[in-house]
Chains A and B, each alone.
Chain A
Amino acid sequence: MTLPPTPSQTIGPFFAVALPWPDGPDVVPEGTPGAVRVGGRVLDGAGDPVPDALVETWQADPAGRFAHPDDPRGPAPGGFRGFGRCATDAQGRWAVRTLRPGPLPAPDGGTEAPHLDVSVFARGLLNRLVTRIYFPDEAEANTADPLLASIPDPQARARLVAVPDGDGLRFDIHLQGAQETPFLAL
């Protein structure tokens, strides 16, 4: 049996009545050893902040494992949530507090560099946009990463790598324009 999939619709301007959770940005609780802040701004094609976007992150734990039954190595112990959700503020800013993920074995044999998968939802987006955040101090792993290696333009590749920002990491999401973030098709 094959059922036709349900189409996507925009999240609209009023999702804040339901979707932001008090602990949404806390992939790990405050005070967790090794926690890092990852955040930035969401900007539109005119360079203006997008104040009504929702950014979600999904990632492996520091050992490169998932607390999920479909991880073929078995679900990771420890119950790492791995998921962050943050609505942008009036300046388009978002941030999550998390642990750095480990590298991942790829099904086709290589190794994926540590990364976060990201979904961006907003009024004016009829479907989510998906991108990835890589880490700036993983140059060697990033070079060997199969997704990054599939992007020929070095400037586009660089836009998937966060930049150091104080004691955290900054990742701005440009929906459109010269600095446009590379978005991914799942």
Chain B
Amino acid sequence: MKKPNLLALGFSLLALALPVHAQLAIEITGAGANRIPLAVAAFDGERIVSQALVSVVRSDLERSGLFRMVDPGTNPIAENATINYGDWRGKSSDALVVGSVLPLAEGRYDTRFRLHDIPKQQLLTTQGFTHTAAPYQLRSTAHHIADAVYEKLTGERGVFSTRIAYVVKSTGRYELQIADADGANPQPALASREPIISPSWSPDGSKLAYVSFEAKKPVIYVHDLASGRRHVAANFKGSNSAPAWSPDGKRLAVVLTKDGSSQIYLVNVDGSGVTRLASSAGIDTEPQFAPDGQAIYFTSDRGGSPQIYRIPAAGGEAQRVTFEGSYNVTPRLSPDGKSMAYITRDGGHFKLALMDIANKQTQILTDSSKDESPSFAPNGRVILYATEVGGRGVLAAVSVDGRVKQKLSVQAADVREPAWGPFVK
């Protein structure tokens, strides 16, 4: 039995006490233009618990690139403490997080925090969480606190308590793993000697569809994460690949070759009701629903080179979306449907690009050369993708303005095929 790999996204200095076998490999470059100065004070109460919590809150917020962390000193400040706003103003902090961890019965704790606006001298929010001292519960509580602070200060929903899926390839072994958005707490969902590709989250975050080669050919499975049960969603003669969920979670767009070359079909999640969506003489693949469910974006070589097209989800005429360059693939729509991440070939290099759907303006977001598999964070602010550094597969994340960049790697293994999970209540 192999120990779980640790995918490292957090700051090493601030990260929660990690298992000794963990090898962090983190690189963060760039930051947002106008970072909000923020102090997160030590929480009052049981010290070991509060330290583990607060370090995760700080690293979550700092990693977003939207905050400049102000040194709060080492003294804990209780949730209900009277705040001397003048003092904090003197430290150039615009916001302050304070909190308390109170032990309850049976190893449980009640953690409450307050977020103060320093210049306005007012309380912005206060919230409480009940949890145990189990590491994953502490992390989960910290991610929820960070989400609340992030949302109050930026006006956007935080993604710290969401999860990511990805595939780790080590010698002769493939593992589909699920981790917290910061890469901590990785859980293997499936292990195989054969490749696993194209994981795709159900809209409610309870299932993954993916392609596994365990039957010596690509077959699509739907895997329930809580129970570990899975079923074959498509196993027709030929290859079965590229599953994508409809926004209502009832259907999958898939690529089948049962009638010749790779073509797009819709199937019910249980594998029934197969209908063909589009027809071309060449390759159609990589379908993805627009967030409103009305259209499907896909890659096709029907025009002579691989380009991105859009077709009504009910079928009809396909419209070409990309025109510049001779290789544009893997369309991924932002959660608001207004922009599209994709991979473009630029002088032999494969780079992550972003297109504004309305005006077709495009921006290349990376300077790497083997980018693949982009995936939007559910708040649309960051794109996670796979790339290669020093001959090894790593995951990288870039903010949609291209300013904040992170790389995430696993020791002695390739990481690939990232998929950022949805918001979960």
Chains A and B come from one and the same complex: no
A interface list, Cβ under 8 A from B: none
